[in-house]
Amino acid sequence: MYTFIKFGGSVITDKTGQEAADLPLIGQLANELAQARQARPDLALILGHGSGSFGHHYAARYGIHRGLPPGSDYSGFAHTAAAALRLNRIVVDALLAAGLPALALQPSASLQTHAGQITAWHTATLSQALQHHLIPVIHGDVAFDNAQGSCIASTEILLTHLALHTPLRPNRIILVGEAGVYSADPRQNPQAQRIPLITAANLEVVLHATTGSHAVDVTGGMRSKLELMWQLVQAIPTLEVHLIGPAPGNLQAVLLGEDTDVGTIIRMK
Q: State residue 214's pLDDT score.
A: 45
Domain assignment of residue 71, given as a range: 8-170+188-266
Identity of the residue numbered 190: P
Domain count of the fold of the chain: 1
264 assigned ligand-binding residue:
no
Identity of the residue numbered 146: N
Q: State residue 217's pLDDT score.
A: 44
Question: Is residue 25 one of the residues assigned to a domain?
Answer: yes
Question: Is residue 194 one of the residues assigned to a domain?
Answer: yes
Q: State residue 142's pLDDT score.
A: 97
67 assigned ligand-binding residue:
no
- φ and ψ at residue 197, rounded to 5 degrees: -140, 130
- Can you list the alpha helix ranges (DSSP code H) found in 143-267? 155-165, 203-209, 221-235, 250-255
Distance, CA of 237 to CA of 233 (rounded, Å): 5
152 and 143 Cβ atoms separated by less than 8 Å: yes
Q: State residue 216's pLDDT score.
A: 40
Question: Is residue 23 one of the residues assigned to a domain?
Answer: yes
56 assigned ligand-binding residue:
yes
Question: Is residue 95 one of the residues assigned to a domain?
Answer: yes
Residues of the chain with pLDDT below 50 are: 212-219
The DSSP code for 247 is: -
CATH number at residue 54: 3.40.1160.10
Question: Is residue 61 one of the residues assigned to a domain?
Answer: yes
Residues 222-236: pLDDT tens digits? 777 788 889 999 999
Question: Is residue 151 one of the residues assigned to a domain?
Answer: yes
Question: Is residue 177 one of the residues assigned to a domain?
Answer: no
pTM equals 0.91
51 assigned ligand-binding residue:
yes
Distance, CA of 175 to CA of 168 (rounded, Å): 17
Q: State residue 109's pLDDT score.
A: 96
155 assigned ligand-binding residue:
yes
Of 49, 46, 154, 50, the C-alpha closest to 100 is 46
Question: Is residue 179 one of the residues assigned to a domain?
Answer: no
Interior CA angle at 104 toward 101 and 107, to 5°?
145
